[in-house]
Structure 1
Amino acid sequence: MHWILLIIAGLFEVGFTTCLGKANQSQGNTFALWIAGFFLSLSLSMYLLYKATSGIGAVPLGSGYAVWTGIGAVGTVLIGILFFKEPVTFWRVFFIFTLIGSVVGLKMVSH
């Protein structure tokens, strides 16, 4: 259960970075809505990270934080490529896969 919470927390991290990117491109009421989404996603992400790394059977804090940031980093890069027209280069894709491999490796070696 803790790992599921951690994955959802990572997805909310992608949500808050996406909202931040959209807020930077907006103004007026649209800006306010994206900022509200940013703060809501940020709060949920932090709360779920806390829940995933506390209690009996929790994910170790170091591993949890690394996985959380890894999900956020990979997800944010993918959102940037798909929705913000960021460049797709060999090295970006290579390091995304390296990061995914590291996250999977941490899951495999955590108790």
Structure 2
Amino acid sequence: MAWLTLFVAALLEITWAIGLKYTDGFTKLLPTVPTVAAMVGSLLLLSQATKTLPIGTAYGVWVGIGAAGAAVLGIVLFDEPHSAARIFFLVLLLASVVGLKVTSGH
């Protein structure tokens, strides 16, 4: 159950990271409210997951999924650069997340 909680926390991290782009520096109320809610939810779920998962593993997986997801959505939604090198490093990041999960012992 901790891994599922961590995964949902990471999805919420992606949500708030992308939401930041829409808040315009927290000056727009409508995108700010769900963005802040996603931040709070993400951190609460991360803290729950760390009750049973090692902090280094949980945090690394949370950050890795969040960063990769935000980067991919940045490419899709905001036409950010998508060079072969960038895609390679995103795949490498996701491989690292899988490696942390596999070697966590949980």
Indicate whether the TM-score tops 0.5. Answer: yes
Q: What's the CA shift string for 1:12-56, capped at 9, x where partnerless?
A: 0000011101112996xxx201111111000000000000011xx
- Structure 2 residue 38 is the aligned partner of structure 1 residue 44: no
- Structure 2 residue 13 is the aligned partner of structure 1 residue 19: no
- Sequence identity percentage: 37
Q: Structure 2: how far apart are the matches of 1:26 and 1:17?
A: 12
For these two proteins, the number of residue pairs brought into alignment is 105
| Structure 2 alignment gaps of length 5 or more | none
Scaled by the length of structure 1, the TM-score of the pair is: 0.90
1:89 to 83, 101, 104: 83
Q: Structure 2: how far apart are the matches of 1:66 and 1:47?
A: 16
Mapping 1:48-87, distance limit 5 Å: 48-54=45-51, 58-87=52-81
Scaled by the length of structure 2, the TM-score of the pair is: 0.94
Structure 1 segments, 4+ long, off by >3 Å, are: none
- Structure 2 residue 9 is the aligned partner of structure 1 residue 3: no
| Structure 1 alignment gaps of length 5 or more | none
